């Protein structure tokens, strides 16, 4: 009886291709980005949103039944490509400095990976992603993913800022719920994982960003990505976070 019930629950419409198939329990943010967070017991630390929230340990990354096996495979090919750029195994030209310059990237694979993350977060019903809601852009991005059309560099562009906690030590030990804000008049969504901020521009007039200095940091069609390095103590978010953690610890330890 219980088995039959489980079967009903996992046969649903895939969020990407709309076929009625068995849905996989997919991750939203690929697990390789959690890796630095895992302790020896395979738990990761989720930083509290506010002083009232507890530190939570989870046995696995955040998962949800969103995609059929075919769509999951499609997305995991892009993920695998990006994983090999960031975590080794991919022959690619990286020039150190600030910004870090990466050349020879497969534009379509990398861009589709970026878009797939944003889209999954929007489709997700998990509380962690509640601030990501793309409205009409969700369907536009679904079509791009389904048809494997990455669009131009100005179509839903994203830039990545690597955060330095200390000299030469990159932030690699936490993820944080994504949130939304306006930058240069555009709606953006900020994700934190894989050592820094991923900032997505989601509006219909992002072409206007071609005159902005920010656009230097968008992955371009020639496969070049510039990644600026910023010290955490120069970023307002981390200054505020440090204050929150102090407050949280005080709260936890009583008055
Ligand atoms: Zn599907």
* Ligand 1 geometric centre to CA of 219 (Å): 27
CA–centroid distance, residue 17 to ligand 1 (Å): 4
Please give the distance, rounded to the nearest whole angstrom, from the Cα atom of residue 243 to the centre of ligand 1.
43
At residue 148, does pLDDT exceed 60?
yes
Q: What six digits make up the tokens of 38?
A: 């895992």
Percent of the chain predicted with pLDDT > 90: 43
Domains of the chain: which residue ranges? 2-252
- pLDDT tens across 3-28, in order? 555 555 557 899 999 999 999 988 88
The residues placing their C-beta within 5 Å of ligand 1, an ion, are 14, 16-17, 68, 71
pTM of the model: 0.82
Calculate how far, in angstroms, residue 22's C-alpha sits from the geometric centre of ligand 1: 9
How far is ligand 1, taken at its centre, from the CA of residue 64, in Å?
A: 14
pLDDT band at 147 (very low <50, low <70, confident <90, very high): very high
Distance from the Cα of residue 17 to its chain's centroid: 21
The larger pLDDT score, comparing residue 89 to residue 51, is at 89
Q: How far is the CA of 70 from the centre of ligand 1 (A)?
A: 6
pLDDT 10s digits, 179-231: 999 988 899 999 987 778 899 999 998 888 888 888 999 999 999 999 888 88
Whole-number Å distance, alpha carbon 144 to ligand 1 midpoint, is 14
d(CA 71, ligand 1 centre) in Å: 4
Mean pLDDT on 144-169? 88
Ligand 1 midpoint to CA 118 (Å): 17
Contact of 155 with 161, CB cutoff 8 Å: no
Mean pLDDT score of the chain: 80
């Amino acid at each position: 009886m219980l088995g039959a019930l489980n079967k009903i629950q996992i046969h649903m419409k895939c969020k990407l291709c709309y076929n009625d198939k068995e849905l996989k329990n997919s991750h939203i943010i690929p697990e390789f980005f959690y890796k630095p967070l895992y302790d020896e017991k395979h738990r990761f630390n989720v930083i509290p949103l506010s002083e009232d929230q507890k530190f939570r340990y989870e046995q696995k990354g955040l998962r949800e039944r969103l995609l059929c096996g075919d769509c999951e495979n499609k997305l995991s090919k892009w993920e695998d490509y990006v994983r090999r750029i960031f975590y080794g195994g991919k022959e690619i030209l990286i020039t150190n400095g600030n910004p870090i310059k990466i050349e020879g990237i497969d534009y379509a694979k990398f861009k589709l990976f970026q878009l797939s993350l944003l889209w999954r977060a929007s489709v997700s019903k998990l509380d962690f992603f509640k601030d990501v809601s793309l409205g009409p852009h969700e369907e536009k991005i679904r079509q791009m993913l389904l048809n494997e059309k990455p669009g131009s560099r100005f179509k839903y562009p994203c830039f990545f800022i690597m955060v330095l906690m200390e000299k030469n030590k990159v932030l690699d030990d936490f993820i944080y719920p994504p949130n939304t804000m306006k930058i240069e008049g555009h709606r953006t969504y900020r994700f934190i994982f894989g050592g820094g901020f991923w900032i997505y521009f989601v509006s219909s007039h992002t072409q206007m960003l071609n005159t902005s200095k920010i656009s230097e940091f968008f992955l371009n069609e020639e496969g070049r990505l510039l990644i600026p390095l910023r010290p955490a103590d120069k970023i307002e978010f981390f200054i505020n976070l440090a204050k929150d953690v102090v407050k949280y610890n005080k709260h936890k330890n009583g008055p």
